[in-house]
Amino acid sequence: MTQIKAAFFDIDGTLLPFHAKALRESTVQALAALRENGVKTFIATGRPPVHLPYLHALDGIPFDGYVTMNGQYCYLADGTPLYSRYIDRAALRTLLPYIKKEHISVGFVGKDFCLFNHINDLSRQFALDLQQGEGDVAARIESDAIYQLSAFLPEENEPEFLRSCPGCIAVRWSPDFCDILPAGGGKPNGLAHTLAHLGLTREQSIAFGDGGNDVTMLEYAGIGVAMGNACDAAKAAADYVTDDITADGLAKALAHFGLI
């Protein structure tokens, strides 16, 4: 097996149990041991950069870089950008009348902001937790790059939403909302550009995930590891399924592959 040189970790449900305020001690120790063994560590999340300062569970945990917004915006720990891809403005203009008519709450996500067209019962706690508010999204899409949308709607309504946002796809890691990306987007793009910057191949990478938005990442990495609490699609895409996040699954998998 090619020696693993880079490890990519989803956050919610992988590094951090849902609704938990801190990483498990076994996870903290495993990440430290991995870095001590010369493996570079990266976040690979659906969250945008603007969310990360509010995620205090990661405070003090060093990473070499970040694949954010499901691979749409990637950068090194020092802020050096590696890759970015935003949603076509024409698609966003087409979408606005539809979400207004259907009263759908959507977060328009840029590099350093998340602006809602309106906040409703589905999105209120999410917006409150991250101190995000409502605003003139029509003006914002003309002035700033929108890399991702957070659309608060049930999974069965995704096809209709996408018909009004041409050239986009939906990925989901929460029952409350889906992330809308440009077609062809996803975490593998972020991994590919990060690995290229490091002079590494995909075979030299390992990735950990649990959600629907992790499926293509687990397929892309040299080793894809699904958590025991992962959705069925993530487990099917993985090379290895470890224990639940709350049963020290991340540390156990790294030990299984001899990385710690």
The per-residue pLDDT of the chain, averaged, comes to 94
What is the third-level CATH fold of 6-84+185-256?
Rossmann fold (3.40.50)
pLDDT at 2 (0 to 100): 57
The secondary structure of the chain in percent helix, strand, coil, rounded to multiples of 5, reads 40, 20, 40
Interval 45-100: pLDDT, tens? 999 998 898 889 999 999 999 999 999 999 999 999 999 999 999 999 999 999 99
Look at domain 89-182 and name its CATH class. alpha beta
Euclidean distance between CA atoms 44 and 9, whole angstroms: 5
pLDDT at 78 (0 to 100): 95
- List the domain boundaries for the chain: 6-84+185-256, 89-182
pLDDT at 1 (0 to 100): 46
| CA 34 to chain CA mean position, Å | 21
**pLDDT bucket at 128, cuts 50 / 70 / 90:** confident
pTM, rounded to two decimals: 0.90
Angular region, 60: left φ>0, alpha ψ -120 to 50, beta rest: left
CB distance 220 to 188 below 8 Å? yes
**pLDDT bucket at 211, cuts 50 / 70 / 90:** very high
Interval 135-147: pLDDT, tens? 999 999 999 999 9
Q: What stretch of H or E contains 235?
A: helix 232-237
What mean pLDDT comes out for the span 159-188? 92
